[in-house]
Amino acid sequence: MTHLAHEPGSWTAGWLHGVRHLPSPNFGPRPPSAQVDLLVVHAISLPPGEFGGGEVDRLFTNQLDWDAHPYFQTIRGLEVSAHFLIDRLGGITQYVSVADRAWHAGPSCWRGRQNCNDDSVGIELEGLDGGTFEPAQYDSLAWLCKAVATACPVRHVAGHEHIAPGRKPDPGPGFDWQRLRHQTGWPAAWFAA
């Protein structure tokens, strides 16, 4: 995990130095008026509850074999992405420049604004909705939050469950928001939970 070896905040064209880059085709331009002040925390595993197989990479790069697992038929044809994924060991992959709009939030609303994709950075944690996350993931997430804040005017941190209540449950009750607040040192008022 070379990313933790240096201070967060070294960027080129919205791509963070010190993390793995795997560009996704699933992104678009942000609206000219976008103020990227929201971090959205998600949880993902493919198939659900299975970790480390590379299926999330394949989903975000439109290379998932829809016939490889019965669950994949339920998401067949989905074109989604996030800016970042943090795996169970704390490794960080970036798929979309933070200057661009990743397709992670779907129908959503936070701080009085619709379409959270427009002005947020999406961070996926490899995990199961409602499950627990690894210490290395919290360390990397706190580091990544601080890194993003050097490139964007971050003032809000929410889960997918907060911006799309009733539609999305992640990261869920197993996620320790207090730990993230403590590790970032950010004000409690910035956090949805």
Catalytic sites, residue numbers: 124
Reply yes or no: is the peptide bond before residue 171 cis, omega within 30 of 0.
yes
Cβ contacts of residue 61 below 8 Å, gap of 6+? 22, 23, 24, 25, 95
Strand partners, 160: none
Residue 63 has φ and ψ, to the nearest 5°, of: -120, 10
Buried b (16+ CB within 10 A) or exposed e, 136-157: bbbbbbbbbbbbbbebbebebb
Q: Where in 6-152 does DSSP place strands (E)? A: 11-12, 15-16, 20-21, 27-29, 38-44, 84-86, 92-94, 100-102, 109-110, 113-114, 120-126
